[in-house]
Structure 1
Amino acid sequence: MPESYIKRILDARVYDVARETPVDQALLLSKRFKNSVWLKREDLQPVYSFKLRGAYNKMHRLSPEQRERGVIAASAGNHAQGLAMAAQRMGVSATIVMPRTTPSIKVDAVRSRGAHVVLHGDNFDEASTHAQKLVKEKDLTYVHPFDDPDVIAGQGTVGMEIVRQHQEPLDAVFVPVGGGGLLAGMAAYIRYVWPKTKIIGVEPEDAACLKTALERGRRVTLPEVGLFADGCAVAQVGKETFRVIRHTVDEVITASTDEMCAAIKDIFEDTRGIAEPAGALALAGLKKYVEREGIEGQQLLAVLSGANTNFDRLRYISERTEIGEKREAVISVTIPEKPGAFRKFCNSIGRRNITEFNYRYSSAKDARVFVGVTVEPGGEDLKALIDQLAGEGYECEDLTDNEMAKLHIRHMVGGLAPEGVGGERVYRVEFPERPGALLKFLSGLGQRWNISLFHYRNHGAAYGRILVGMQVGPKERSEARACLDAIGYRYWDETDNAAYRLYLGSPDSGH
């Protein structure tokens, strides 16, 4: 039972390398949400993540013979850094298998601590499979990033510190979840000491392996996982972690990419620290919980679990932040193409802060304006704005939740396709961002269809994103789908997307 972990956690050897991190009150968030919001600052560890705790505790428990053989692990980055530092401190040879999508800041950090890095696969599960192969080939000692009692106990010291530092029971604790090691260790300890405190796991909505497992009553393997929160990009929760979690955790909340981006900004404004997406995940869940429950005056804590993110990814994060906070709306407005219409429309917007404005002449009758505008969170303000514009005779469409509009259209507004671009089908494609991935996509398409539209933008994230238009005849559509299936990247047919129809479509596009 989970109680068996209490002694393990109390005896865990972590402070040879890890530090006891502070619990800081987030004053701005506390005032905004009318609750006392606390952050457990695991981003302040020597490797900027909690993972050092479990890795070192496991290394300490290995026999001399196991250490002599050398250790190996699969990791998306933070466990790798923790194990590399632990191995360096103990004088043990370490090999780390990392997904090729791992941010370079994590790869470089692991190499700087003397570990041998092997880049393999697009996610943790593919890297883990390769690591197991190397274990057999080279007789190495495998150190699992989460599904191991000694690793779980090491991570559980985060919960032990919170109990000691806060002194009185919290109302709820929010913990990020990948494979479940941190949540299992913290939940086992906190549930035992503070039985009435709610313990809530938070997962990315596109990598919700624990939430799915709890709903089905058994572990499942997700067919694919999102890579934005690479520290939590796990397709299956651990066997041992799931055993502990199902007896100790109250619920699991999921957060979107935009919500994680908003949480990163919140953390920066309160601490001046920059969290990685997985590091801000728990706070994103805390915010959703407060909004859902309508609570006030409670003591709430989120674990800020890591700060290992590429600097160039901040560009993408900043773009998505206000939408994630529901403080920015993206709308399409049709205005008459005549002198003074543009100024009149701006007057209708009033004193609202305009964050983005894309416009181009497209016909003698009408023009379409792609607008980003600041709104009050909650949705009522946006509805009032759209109702106001509609009352003034403007045709409006809300594109705030339209992925294609946010990822591509806002960078491409330049007029509709000319007549003659017939049979255009438009596909949005996502692929693991690594050298050669874009070439693989283009090579897979071959020369079968004429490409009539193309947009690709590298913003430092683990995903590359493409919008491609191809002239595909009605009888060739199944063939085009088969071609995209064979390439193996996730894709969506966006030909009927309102944003495409309004800004890029052709009058004779054939759909």
Structure 2
Amino acid sequence: MKSQVNEAKEALRELFPATPLQLNEHLSARYGAHIYLKREDLTPVRSYKIRGAFNFLRKVVAAGETDKVFVCASAGNHAQGFAFVCRHFGVQGVVFMPVTTPQQKIDKTRMFGGDFITIKLVGDFFDQCYQAARDYVERMDGYMVPPFDHADIIEGQATVGAEIMEQLPEGEVIDAVIMPVGGGGLSAGVSGYLSGILPKDAFLFCEPAGAPSLKTSLEAGKVVTLDRVDNFVDGAAVARIGELNFERLSGFSPEQVLLLEENAICVTITEMLNLEGVVLEPAGALSLAALEKLGRPALEGKTIVAVVSGGNFDFERLPDVKERAMRYSGLKKYFILRLPQRPGALKDFLTLLGEEDDIARFEYLKKSARNFGSILLGIETKRPENFPPLFAAFDAAGIGYQDITENDILANLII
């Protein structure tokens, strides 16, 4: 396998130089470790997906079968990598995307593929889109280029591991490699390439808590299709890990799969943007969010490689990401208050706020037939420890309140 991966790695240099393996000073200081970031957000399409698509098409083109149409179904990074590679080889490609795909992703895919790409918008959901793509391949006798569940795709993603070993400074010994998992192409490829070089327990895999397809499958001992998936981490929100990918990952323990809360990932995105100027998509932030989950005691003195899988972030999502990050960090909370309907009640309430507390949302519905009115209140503060004194002030003033910050149903309806 290693010789084939190395061959694929050398062939990739037609498209772009090796992505950097960077020692991150900020994270290294925080955890007392050597934290290296493998920057897959710096490929031409800002994700590692271009590697697998290139390797797949490279082999088909070498076999002389360029007269067929190539097809993929994707609303994200796979589509963009596929489009770039089709243009590189001068072959025709068709990208199937759901009708609900954001225009930004459609435009970027079209930009990368140029005249070599046709985009078809089909269905409201990915499953409908994927089925349409499969039907098209059968009808046109084309080539389906899968996002992860294929040996050539896995081999292409494994070039990440080959580059890591090539770039690691002399004398450094890796204690852990942390990788995000969606369909499993990256994790199967990199762990396969590094097997025999690193011990089995040196691999840690990260999934969003709302899409634990690998962990659930490892626990069951077989591939499991999740009943529901939280799509917030769209690059890794996969309901079913690939069959071949799971086969190659089945020897790992479920304990080696870390589940990261979606809001914790938002903290990582905002910190890396504000402190490092690095733009990460939610899936690209998974391995860095895992560092915080592991904590300094587990990482201190070690050499860690975290794979940053992608940076295709839609900045229209930034307000939501910031909101989630503040709530997770305990800096923002939402309440339903009951205030007496009398003159001066609101003024009395405002005196209870601390110097670092700020009202971020205030909605008051006065009902003349009642003695009390309800308020939806959002409060931001500088430090999470400011909230307990505020709660005590509410209680002392006899103000009835309900903290709805973690109530997902209410939050989705009114926040």
TM-score range, shorter chain: 0.7 to 0.9
d(CA) in 1 for partners of 2:338, 2:65 = 69
Match of 1:373 in 2: 380
Stretches of structure 2 that go unaligned for 5 or more consecutive residues are none
- Show the 5 A alignment for 1:239-278: 239-248=243-252, 251-278=256-283
Aligned-pair distance for 1:241? Answer: 0.7
Distance 1:124 1:34, change over 3 A: farther
Match of 2:109 in 1: 110
Match of 1:85 in 2: 84
d(CA) in 1 for partners of 2:412, 2:89 = 46
Stretches of structure 1 that go unaligned for 5 or more consecutive residues are 411-511
Structure 1 runs (4+) deviating above 6 angstroms are none
Give the RMSD, CA atoms, in angstroms: 2.7
1:57-78 deviation per Cα after TM superposition (whole angstroms, max 9, x unaligned): 1111124343221211222321
Give the letter for the 2:364 counterpart.
Answer: R
- The higher relative CO (CA closer than 8 Å, separation ≥ 6) is in 2
**Local SS of the residue matching 1:273:** coil
d(CA) in 2 for partners of 1:34, 1:194 = 22
1:73-117 deviation per Cα after TM superposition (whole angstroms, max 9, x unaligned): 222321111121112111111112223333322221222213111
Structure 2 length-normalised TM: 0.86
Structure 1 length-normalised TM: 0.71
**Local SS of the residue matching 1:82:** helix
Match of 1:401 in 2: 406
d(CA) in 1 for partners of 2:347, 2:78 = 55
> Is 1:303 the counterpart of 2:299 in the alignment?
no
Paired-residue identity, %: 34
Distance 1:361 1:48, change over 3 A: same
Distance 1:326 1:175, change over 3 A: farther
Aligned-pair distance for 1:28? Answer: 3.9
Distance 1:248 1:186, change over 3 A: farther
Aligned residues: 403
Would the aligned equivalents of 1:331 and 1:400 in 2 still touch at CA under 8 Å? yes
Aligned-pair distance for 1:119? Answer: 2.0
Distance 1:207 1:16, change over 3 A: same
- Show the 5 A alignment for 1:178-189: 178-189=182-193
Aligned-pair distance for 1:129? Answer: 2.4
1:465-507 deviation per Cα after TM superposition (whole angstroms, max 9, x unaligned): xxxxxxxxxxxxxxxxxxxxxxxxxxxxxxxxxxxxxxxxxxx
Aligned-pair distance for 1:216? Answer: 0.8
Would the aligned equivalents of 1:264 and 1:274 in 2 still touch at CA under 8 Å? yes
Match of 1:220 in 2: 224
Distance 1:318 1:346, change over 3 A: same
Would the aligned equivalents of 1:191 and 1:197 in 2 still touch at CA under 8 Å? no
- Show the 5 A alignment for 1:322-401: 322-354=326-358, 356-360=360-364, 362-363=366-367, 365-369=371-375, 370-374=377-381, 376=383, 382-383=387-388, 385-401=390-406
My pick for the range that moved more, 23-32 or 306-315, is 23-32
d(CA) in 1 for partners of 2:76, 2:160 = 19
Aligned-pair distance for 1:389? Answer: 3.3
d(CA) in 2 for partners of 1:130, 1:150 = 23
d(CA) in 1 for partners of 2:210, 2:365 = 38
d(CA) in 2 for partners of 1:189, 1:298 = 21
* 1:134 equivalent among 133, 136, 141: 136
